[in-house]
Amino acid sequence: MRAPALSKNQRQVGTDDAFSRSVEIVVTPAIFAAGGWLLDRWLSTGPWIAVALGSVAFLGKITAEWYRYTGRMGGIEQEMGANRPTNSRGLHLPEEIDDRLPTGVTLDERTEP
């Protein structure tokens, strides 16, 4: 079953959202690193505060995106499960296996005459 076609406005919203998130992932650590660079200059400590703040901001943004993604996917899975029709053919029941052999069939080895 194919998903319904999205209108141009719906596609644009998804693209804008993805673009804004990707910009946030890049710009937020850059802002934190710039603030760390200013602190490094003020404290005369080298690039360590800038690197630390930029790294923490980057890992924080990636973690936030991961939780946002898993939350959305969980909601979609629940929605798909709620829209799924009930099983009317009994496939959820355990399969009954008939171990009986047909008439005239044995498991004895054949002997050559």
Residue-wise pLDDT for 25-84, tens only, equals 999 999 999 999 999 999 988 899 999 999 999 999 999 999 999 999 998 888 887 776
Task: Give residue 41's domain range.
Answer: 25-74
pLDDT surpassing 60 at residue 108 = yes
Note whether residue 79 is domain-resident.
Answer: no
pTM (whole model) above 0.85: no
Give the per-residue pLDDT at 17.
Answer: 83
Note whether residue 15 is domain-resident.
Answer: no
Note whether residue 65 is domain-resident.
Answer: yes
Note whether residue 107 is domain-resident.
Answer: no
Note whether residue 111 is domain-resident.
Answer: no
**Domain tally for the chain?**
1
Note whether residue 13 is domain-resident.
Answer: no
pLDDT band at 18 (very low <50, low <70, confident <90, very high): confident
Note whether residue 93 is domain-resident.
Answer: no
HEC string of the chain equals CCCCCCCHHHHHHHHHHHHHHHHHHHHHHHHHHHHHHHHHHHHCCCCHHHHHHHHHHHHHHHHHHHHHHHHHHHHHHHHHHHHCCCCCCCCCCCCCCCCCCCCCCCCCCCCCC
